[in-house]
């Protein structure tokens, strides 16, 4: 199989944008889907995106499944911004408003939620429990940290940084540092070190710098964060859902924010509402916005996207999200 035409929705969750394909009846191997992801997510091509989302068939325990391939073709354990979009497609396809969704190595609950703003289709997702055992990544800290099981507000010696990090699996791996002010050059440097898949971190990791923000309207004092992420397989990104979940969990774990209370998590793509339970389950409520519908031809062997047909733009949804993104200070 080489040239294939795919129908898809171009969508985004909190500014994290993807082509989304209903793949329930499409028989491609993981290697072929990785090639499709590299073709469609290429920002120099006709579609572009932070990765590729697939709606998959369910099983006895799940109404449907999600797969997410990063722009480099690697498959992520999850993508919470993407999950909301996949959930929306699954809800609409099956005529339901909640589901347990199968992920690569875990599952999550998704349900239609009250709109975070007029005209903004909103999904609440609950994932976890967040994991702290870095041996499962694996992350071999080396040096004085050799043999450690957890990293909580502590340096990671091989990074060559004095920053204190908290290592959280959501279930994909995240290193979270709380900073007074985000330095993007420093973030990119640390993220690039992780992206090189060194011997001590063979499966790489997402890296986030997080600022605590002041009181947010409608939330408890201090219950707001701003998150900037260098995403594994993507690079510096406007938004990463699992990073926002990991950052919220890390903030509660380290006593910076309160468990079981609303948290507003801002990013360059907009915002989500979060809550962290004491059992380490994290919920995010945010948008699943359609931008346009189209079809595109992909030469899978050459990993190249070709003829693109745009069927319709979702102008009202685009405008509704633009209002909330602007108000979030993007």
Please state the rounded mean pLDDT for residues 267-296: 95
C-alpha closest to that of 99 among 63, 135, 73, 129: 63
Provide the 3-class DSSP secondary structure of residue 325: helix
* DSSP-based helix, strand, coil % in the chain, nearest 5: 20, 40, 40
Q: Which pLDDT band, with edges at 50, 70 and 90, does 217 fall under?
A: very low
Q: Answer whether residue 61 shows pLDDT above 90.
A: yes
Tokens of 66: 């999600």
Q: At what angle do helices 80-94 and 241-253 cross, to 10 degrees?
A: 120
Query: Who's near 31: CB < 8 A, 6+ residues apart?
Result: none
The domain segmentation of the chain, as residue ranges, is 3-124+288-327, 134-280
Q: b/e per residue, 251-268, with b = 16+ CB within 10 A?
A: bbbeebbbbeeebbbbbb
Q: What is the CATH number of domain 134-280?
A: 3.10.310.10
Residue numbers annotated as active site: 79, 240
Q: Are 278 and 308 in contact, with CB atoms under 8 Å apart? A: no
Q: Answer whether residue 11 shows pLDDT above 90.
A: yes
Q: Answer whether residue 285 shows pLDDT above 80.
A: yes
Of the given ranges (25-29, 145-149, 285-289), which has the lowest mean pLDDT?
A: 145-149
* CATH architecture assignment, domain 3-124+288-327: Roll (3.10)
């Amino acid at each position: 199989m080489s040239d294939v035409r795919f129908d898809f929705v171009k969508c985004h969750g909190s500014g994290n944008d993807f082509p989304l394909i209903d793949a329930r009846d499409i028989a491609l191997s993981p290697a072929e889907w990785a090639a499709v992801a590299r073709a469609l997510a290429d920002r120099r091509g006709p579609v572009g995106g932070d990765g590729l989302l697939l709606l998959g068939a369910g099983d006895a325990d799940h109404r449907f499944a999600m797969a997410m391939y990063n722009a480099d073709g690697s498959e992520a354990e999850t993508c919470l911004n993407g999950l909301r979009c996949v959930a929306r497609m699954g809800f609409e396809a099956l005529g339901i408003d909640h589901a347990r969704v199968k992920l690569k190595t875990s599952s999550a609950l998704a349900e239609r939620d009250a709109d975070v703003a007029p005209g903004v289709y909103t999904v609440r997702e609950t994932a976890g429990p967040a994991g702290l055992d870095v041996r499962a990544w694996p992350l071999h800290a080396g040096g004085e940290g050799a043999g450690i099981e957890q990293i909580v507000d502590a340096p990671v010696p091989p990074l060559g940084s004095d920053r204190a990090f908290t290592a959280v699996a959501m279930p994909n791996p995240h290193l979270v540092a709380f900073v007074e002010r985000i330095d993007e050059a420093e973030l990119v440097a640390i993220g690039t070190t992780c992206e090189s898949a060194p011997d001590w971190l063979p499966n790489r990791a997402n890296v986030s710098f997080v600022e605590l923000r002041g009181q947010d309207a409608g939330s408890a004092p201090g219950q707001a964060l701003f998150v900037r992420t260098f995403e594994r397989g993507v690079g510096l990104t406007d938004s990463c859902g699992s990073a926002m979940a990991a950052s919220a969990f890390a903030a509660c774990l380290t006593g910076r924010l309160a468990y079981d209370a609303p948290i507003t998590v801002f990013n360059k793509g907009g915002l989500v509402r979060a809550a962290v339970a004491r059992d380490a389950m994290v919920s995010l409520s945010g948008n699943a916005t359609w931008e346009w519908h189209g079809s595109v031809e992909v030469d899978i062997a050459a990993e190249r996207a070709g003829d693109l047909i745009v069927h319709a733009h979702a102008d009202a949804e685009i405008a509704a999200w633009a209002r909330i993104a602007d108000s979030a200070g993007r």
